[in-house]
Amino acid sequence: MNNQSDKNYYLGNKKLPKSTAEFDWTPKMVNELKKCKRNILFFAENFFYIVNLDRGKEKIKLFKCQKRVLRSLRDHRFVALLASRQIGKTTLMTIYCLWIACFEDDQRILIVANKEQTAKNIFKRVRLAYEMLPNYLKPGVVEYGQTSLVLSNGSSIGISTTSSDAGRGDSCNVLVLDELAFIDNHLVDPFWKSVFPIISSSKKSKIFIASTPNGSDNLFHKLYTNADKGVSNWKAERVDWWEIPGRDEAWKDDTIKALGSMEAFNQEFGNVFIQTGESAIDDALFDQLKQECSEPEYVFDEGSYLLWEEPKQDHIYTVGVDVAEGIGDNASVAQILDITDLTNIKQVAVYHNNKISPYNFTTKLKEILQHWGSPPVAIERNNCGAQVVDNLHNLHSYYNMVNFAPNSTTKRSYDTRLGVTAHTNTKYKGVINMRYWINQLNVIRFKDVRTLNELKSFVRYPNGTWSARKEAQVFDDRVMSLIWSLISLEGTITEKYYDIVKRDDNGKPLIIKSMDYGIKEFVNPLSMYSNEKEVGLNNPNPVVFGTNEAVDDDISQLEQMGWVMMGDKPDAGDNTWLTT
* Sequence spans of domains, the chain: 29-246, 283-527, 543-578
Q: How many residues does the chain have?
A: 580
CATH class for the region spanning 283-527: alpha beta
Highest mean pLDDT among 210-214, 240-244, 507-511, 535-539: 240-244
Residue 559 above 70 pLDDT? no
The span from the CA of 161 to the CA of 165, in Å, is 9
Write down the pLDDT at residue 39: 95
Residue 115 above 60 pLDDT? yes
Q: Are 541 and 580 in contact (CB under 8 A)?
A: yes
Q: Are 199 and 43 in contact (CB under 8 A)?
A: no
- pLDDT tens profile 157-214: 999 876 645 555 467 889 999 888 887 767 777 778 777 776 766 778 899 999 998 8
Among 182-196, 301-315, 432-446, where is mean pLDDT lowest? Answer: 182-196
**Mean pLDDT, residues 520-536:** 80
Among 345-354, 369-378, 456-465, where is mean pLDDT lowest? Answer: 456-465
The span from the CA of 487 to the CA of 260, in Å, is 12
Strands 458-460 and 49-52: unpaired
Strands 576-578 and 543-545: antiparallel
Residue 424 above 80 pLDDT? no
| 4: DSSP letter | -
**Mean pLDDT, residues 325-333:** 92
Residue 295, exposed/middle/buried by CB under 10 A (0-12, 13-18, 19+)? exposed
- pLDDT tens profile 360-370: 999 999 999 99
Where does the pLDDT of residue 407 fall: very low under 50, low under 70, confident under 90, or very high at 90 and above? low
**Mean pLDDT, residues 411-436:** 78
**Mean pLDDT, residues 517-528:** 78
Among 61-75, 99-113, 204-218, 388-402, where is mean pLDDT lowest? Answer: 204-218
Residue 429 above 90 pLDDT? no
- pLDDT tens profile 269-305: 988 887 666 788 888 899 899 999 999 999 999 999 9
Where does the pLDDT of residue 1 fall: very low under 50, low under 70, confident under 90, or very high at 90 and above? very low
Give residues with Cβ within 8 angstroms of 504, minimum separation 6.
510
Residue 16, exposed/middle/buried by CB under 10 A (0-12, 13-18, 19+)? buried
Q: Phi/psi of residue 409, each to 5°?
A: -105, 5
- Whether 29-246 and 283-527 share one fold: the answer is no
The residue type of 111 is I
Q: How many CB atoms lie within 10 A of CB 430?
A: 24
Residue 63 above 90 pLDDT? yes
**Mean pLDDT, residues 466-474:** 80
Rounded to an integer, what is the distance from CA 77 to the centroid of its chain?
Answer: 33
The residue type of 383 is N
The span from the CA of 478 to the CA of 353, in Å, is 11
Threshold 0.75, pTM exceeds? no
CATH architecture assigned to 29-246? 3-Layer(aba) Sandwich (3.40)
Write down the pLDDT at residue 268: 85
Q: Quick one: the chain helix, strand, coil %, rounded to 5?
A: 35, 20, 45
Give 452-503 as a 3 state SS string.
HHHHHCEEECCCCCEEECCCCCCCCHHHHHHHHHHHHHCCCHHHHHEEEEEE
Q: Are 376 and 339 in contact (CB under 8 A)?
A: no
Give me the long-range contacts of 466-471 (CB less than 8 A, separation at least 24): 466/280, 466/427, 466/428, 466/431
Write down the pLDDT at residue 538: 47
Q: Phi/psi of residue 578, each to 5°?
A: -95, 145
Write down the pLDDT at residue 83: 93
Partner residues linked to 208 by β-bridges: 79, 176
Average pLDDT, the chain: 84
Write down the pLDDT at residue 412: 45
Residue 506 above 70 pLDDT? yes
Write down the pLDDT at residue 410: 39
Q: Phi/psi of residue 235, each to 5°?
A: -100, 120
The residue type of 410 is T
Among 169-178, 310-319, 443-452, where is mean pLDDT lowest? Answer: 169-178
Where does the pLDDT of residue 54 fall: very low under 50, low under 70, confident under 90, or very high at 90 and above? confident
- pLDDT tens profile 128-165: 999 999 999 999 999 998 889 999 999 999 998 766 45
Write down the pLDDT at residue 238: 94
Upper half-sphere CA count for residue 297 (Cβ side, 13 Å):
10
Write down the pLDDT at residue 50: 83
Where does the pLDDT of residue 420 fall: very low under 50, low under 70, confident under 90, or very high at 90 and above? very high
Write down the pLDDT at residue 265: 84
Where does the pLDDT of residue 347 fall: very low under 50, low under 70, confident under 90, or very high at 90 and above? very high
Give residues with Cβ within 8 angstroms of 222, minimum separation 6.
none
Partner residues linked to 331 by β-bridges: none
- Cα 58 to Cα 87, 96, 370: the distances in Å are 17, 18, 60
The span from the CA of 416 to the CA of 401, in Å, is 12
Write down the pLDDT at residue 537: 46
52: three-class secondary structure by DSSP? strand
419: three-class secondary structure by DSSP? coil
- Give percent of the chain with pLDDT exceeding 90: 49
